[in-house]
Amino acid sequence: MGRKFARSVEDFTCYNCGFEVKGNGYTDHCPKCLYGLHVDIKPGDRECECRGKMKPVSAISDRHGTFTISYVCLKCGMKKRVKASPEDSPEALRVLSSRN
């Protein structure tokens, strides 16, 4: 049986734009440029050895205005989707959603 998500507050420097990110325990990408890092197999486990940049490729808004961001790992090609954070740049989300 799998381990439950363990919240861990981690601050980090964005590998893409250099922004100093203040983590909240659920932060998995930069709120400025939306890039992430491929570090998890399961959310929060930090057990993935890939460590490739996760490029945001699209964002879709639901009827309530909540965005879901789609990513692709630039190193291994893995794809995933995550919910946008309230701290995410509205402009970055708009630009990304206009690519759909």
pLDDT, one tens digit per residue, over 15-43 is 999 999 999 988 889 999 999 999 998 88
Read off the pTM. Answer: 0.88
Domain that holds residue 89: 12-97
Share of the chain above pLDDT 90, in %: 71
Residue 6 maps to a domain: no
Residue 4 maps to a domain: no
Residue 35 maps to a domain: yes
What lies within 8 Å, CB to CB, of 70 at 6+ separation is 56, 57, 58, 59, 60, 79, 80, 81
Contact 56, 29 (CB under 8 A): yes
